[in-house]
Amino acid sequence: MTHATLLLGQTLRFAASPFADGPEAAVHDSRGGVLIRDGIIAEVGHGPDLRAAHPQARVVDCGNALLSAGFVDAHAHYPQTAMIASWGKRLIDWLNSYTFPEEMRFADPDYAARIAARYFDLVTAHGTTTVCSFATIHPASVDAFFAEAQARGLRMLTGKTCMDRNAPDGLRDTAQSAHDDSRALLGRWHGVDRLSYVITPRFSPTSTPEQLEALGALWAEHPDCLMQTHLSEQTDEIDWVKSLYPGARDYLDTYESHGLLGARGLYGHAIHLEPREKDRLAEVGAALVHCPTSNTFIGSGLFDMAGLMAAGQRVGLATDTGGGSSFSMLRTMAAAYEIGQLRGTALHPAQLWWLATQGSARALHLGDRIGNLAPGMEADIIAVDLASTPAIAQRHAEAEDIWESLFPTIMMGDDRAIRAVWVGGAPKTMVNAA
């Protein structure tokens, strides 16, 4: 008989999207349980009932901690780990002053490996179990990320960032080498264990039409892959795109006309969208990825979560480290709430938590594998302490329902709130077992 582990605590799962069905789409059990077998969630239910039904299971009692799917970060730059929270620049200056010099260091495979290990230590401590990350132009940066993720059993996604213009010497490839290197890396890593390759043009200003065309052709050859890039982050960026692509109808058209618009496309930021762009993105079912701490830190603008969701867009949530100023999806949820308030919509805690788990998983086309507590899902699970600091604890003590209990952690929580993490059912940080 397969050995099973039973996690006990409060449980939070989603039967549907709370954007469509309201907070009732979230299912909370104050005495819940999650049964794990062979790295997969076998059952989710009332804790005492599961304990009675599975007396041989190893029990891990998390007390009043909240058991949830691990966080899913749908857009990040792991090579920017060491220069996160760099002061005072708009996007283009920020890239030239901080990002590009740091990314040049990833020509050294040993450095790439050290940063990959540091990055996974940081995000796991914050309860994030899946990330879709940009690498650098160096194939070694992809190898380092995937090798470290594979060693840790993580479900992770990345791709070689492609740039053949408007970048420094040492950070440019060519249309041909971008295609060939990406294809070789895809062949080496995509679908191995829990790893997925993502075709990755950084954004239109740093790719010639020829490079975008080559990457569009690669995507057509491998339509099961995701494609990630940036779209309409800042107004001066949009003006730059218009000057570089004078024949394009809009920013999105620079991708669309080169085969880089599709259902498995991930478009980071998407703040300043034209009506045609919104219509096409919704029509093809592409994913928009909201990066709120980055948008405020770099001064990009206010993402229209309510309007885009009402229009049927697919939306994920992300830290965008190191443009984003935190590795924490809790801090990211808090920033999303604050941006929603500035746009006149108070996002409900159920909506925020869904965005950081199932919503981002759906954006990555992994909603059937991760991002929720449900039978058949991979057992990437976190235990969240809802009273992790004195400030949070005193507010939590006055809570009258789960949302009043959870919201202070969303707004004020950090890595201290993550009591335990399981990856594929294996403990990475651990509470005491009963």
Q: What angle do CA 175, 179, 182 make, to 5 degrees?
A: 135
Intervals of CATH 2.30.40.10 along the chain: 4-70+371-429
Q: Which residues pair with 426 in a beta bridge?
A: 423
Percent of all residues in the chain with a pLDDT value above 70, rounded to a whole number: 98
Alpha-helical regions (H) of 54-125: 91-94, 100-104, 109-125
Strands 314-317 and 40-46: unpaired
Stated as kind and residue range, the H or E segment containing 280 is: helix 275-284
Per-residue pLDDT tens over the stretch 293-328: 999 998 999 999 999 999 999 999 999 998 889 999
Long-range contacts of 218-223 (CB under 8 A, 24+ apart): 218/179, 218/182, 218/183, 218/186, 219/259, 219/260, 219/262, 220/259, 221/183, 222/186, 222/190, 223/262, 223/264
Number of continuous H segments (helices) and E segments (strands) in the chain: 18, 16
Rounded to an integer, the average pLDDT of 152-164 is 98
pLDDT of 323: 86
Per-residue pLDDT tens over the stretch 199-244: 999 999 999 999 999 999 999 999 999 999 999 999 999 999 999 9
Place of tokens 């470290």: 148
Q: Model confidence at 98, in pLDDT bands (50, 70, 90)? A: confident
Rounded to an integer, the average pLDDT of 351-378 is 98
Per-residue pLDDT tens over the stretch 329-349: 999 999 999 999 999 999 999
pLDDT of 433: 41
For the ranges 51-55, 87-91, 241-245, 276-280, the lowest mean pLDDT is seen at 87-91
Average pLDDT, the chain: 96
pLDDT of 90: 73
Strands 418-423 and 381-384: antiparallel
Rounded to an integer, the average pLDDT of 13-20 is 97
> Packing angle between helix 139-152 and helix 175-189, nearest 10 degrees?
20
- Residue 432 pLDDT > 70: no
**Rounded CA separation 96/104 (Å):** 11
Region for 426 from its dihedrals, namely left if φ exceeds 0, alpha if ψ lies in -120 to 50, beta otherwise: beta
What is the CATH number that goes with domain 4-70+371-429?
A: 2.30.40.10
pLDDT of 434: 41
Three-state SS at 284: helix
- Residue 431 pLDDT > 70: no
Stated as kind and residue range, the H or E segment containing 139 is: helix 139-152
Nearest CA among 77, 18, 43, 25 for reference residue 269:
77
Inter-residue contact 230 to 249 (CB < 8 Å): no
Q: Give the list of residues 6+ apart from residue 321 with CB closer than 8 angstroms, or none.
A: 76, 77, 78, 80, 81, 84, 327
Which stretches does DSSP call E strand in 136-260?
Answer: 156-159, 161-162, 195-201, 226-231
Q: Model confidence at 34, in pLDDT bands (50, 70, 90)? A: very high
Burial class (CB in 10 A: 0-12, 13-18, 19+), 255: buried
- CATH superfamily assigned to domain 71-363: Metal-dependent hydrolases (3.20.20.140)
DSSP string, 287-341: EEEE-HHHHHHTT-----HHHHHHTT-EEEE---BTTBS-S-HHHHHHHHHHHHH
pLDDT of 94: 74
Region for 153 from its dihedrals, namely left if φ exceeds 0, alpha if ψ lies in -120 to 50, beta otherwise: left
Intervals of CATH 3.20.20.140 along the chain: 71-363
Name the DSSP letter for residue 378.
Answer: B
**Rounded CA separation 27/33 (Å):** 13
User: Which residue type is seen at 162?
Assistant: C
pLDDT of 430: 54
> Packing angle between helix 109-125 and helix 139-152, nearest 10 degrees?
40
